[in-house]
Amino acid sequence: MKENKSTKGPQTENHLVVILEDMRAKFQVFDEGLISLRKKTDQMNANLESLRDEVGDVRLRMARVEAKLAKLEESTARIESDIRLIKNDLKAKVSFEEFKVLEKRLAAATS
């Protein structure tokens, strides 16, 4: 038995319209998802760029701190050396009490 084309045509056409509308709706949802994803990606890229700038600033400040630290280490080494020299000089010198004793001896020897 053959079906009538006039009855088959509108049903098939209606069925295709429903399928196309469903596909359009799904593509619309997909498109909205892509737009949302692009916005998030753009925001992440902006955040990443900001972080890169901050890391660059931190590196610059770190280099300055390292330079200052090197100068402080040099100064500290000089101060330590000076302290050692002063200690040695003080060991070689007589104390005030020893000076008094030596002064008395000298006075006794010259008189």
pLDDT tens by residue, 13-67: 899 999 999 999 999 999 999 999 999 999 999 999 999 999 999 999 999 999 9
Q: What is the pTM of this model?
A: 0.53
- Buried b vs exposed e over 41-71: b needs ≥16 C-beta within 10 Å? eeeeeeeeeeeeeeeeeeeeeeeeeeeeeee
- Altogether, the residues listed in the chain come to a count of 111
pLDDT at 7: 54
Task: Considering only residues 10 and 18, tell me which one the structure prediction assigns the higher pLDDT.
Answer: 18
Each domain of the chain, given as residue ranges in start order, spans 5-110
Q: Which residues contact residue 57 at a Cβ distance below 8 angstroms, ignoring those fewer than 6 apart?
A: none
Dihedral over Cα of 10, 11, 12, 18: its sign: positive
Over residues 73-78, the mean pLDDT reads 98
pLDDT at 85: 95
The vertex-40 CA angle with 38 and 41, nearest 5°, equals: 60
